Amino acid sequence: MSRARVHRLLGYGVVLVGLPVVWVLVRLSGAVPALLVPDPAKVADSLVAKVADPSALALTVARAVAGIGLGLVFGTALAIAAHLLPMVEPLTRVAGMIMRCVPVLALSPLIATFFGYGGPAAVATAAIMSFFPSFALVGAALWRIPPALVDVVRVTGGGRGRLLWYVSLPVALPELVQAAKLTSCVGVLAALTAEFLTANDGLGALLARSQGLLDTPTVWAILLTSLASSLLAYEVMDLAERRTRSLLSLHKN
């Protein structure tokens, strides 16, 4: 385990231990209304009784994973198409920038109209949020392929298919995993936001109901759960990225 990873895990431990202490001190100080900073015991009870319910948590995570996967596949495919067909590269870049720059909240009505409310909207929102990192990182990696390597494939009689399989995809794979790492955090948030606005199930819908009922402990429990899920996904994908780069380095050597 690298030193940077150890330091990051130690930082998580400090936050895990220090957050309840700070929470109690803020609550006892009276500087913040008790409604906004509920009793940690009530937050823990809501976490166990409501948020940890598989019917809500697993549904949101599944939608986030599906959306991230679709976004990564679509972004990678578009990057490869732009690399193989330079004439369409400006169009794909403009489309990618538009999808990245427009706020998700502004797109929510259109997403719900085209894909439907509830689960489809959550998956589509996560896919839109996950699309651009894979498009940008994979596209940049493909343009960094040494021309001599491309010439070797062509001299040996290889066409675009062989160039894609033996050169482009191995070069793009580490960047694709890195894009998955970067989007793993926002994917859960995107699915949660879409559920909050359009769904009747999942953590987002539970968050909307809890907010309407002023059930602050459940609101905090949902926020902490989404944060923990995002951090866990980030660490898993960070490990996958390291393993991928290590394996490709050994294969190259």
Q: CA 15, 30, 47: angle at the middle one, nearest 5? A: 45
Q: In whole angstroms, how far apart are CA 108 and each of 104, 131, 133?
A: 6, 16, 20
* C-alpha span between 253 and 250 (Å, rounded): 5
pLDDT digits (tens, 9 = 90+) for 226-236: 888 888 888 88
pTM across the whole model: 0.81
pLDDT digits (tens, 9 = 90+) for 165-181: 777 777 788 888 888 88
204-213 average pLDDT score: 88
- Give me the half-sphere count of Cα atoms (radius 13 Å) on the Cβ side of residue 104: 23
Q: Residue 185 pLDDT more than 90? A: no
Please report, for the chain, the start and end positions of each structural domain, with discontinuous segments joined by +.
Answer: 56-252
| Residue recorded with tokens 């589509």 | 124
* C-alpha span between 231 and 38 (Å, rounded): 24
190-203 average pLDDT score: 86
The CATH superfamily holding the domain 56-252 is MetI-like (1.10.3720.10)
pLDDT digits (tens, 9 = 90+) for 91-128: 777 777 777 777 777 777 888 888 888 888 889 888 88
State residue 105's pLDDT score. 74
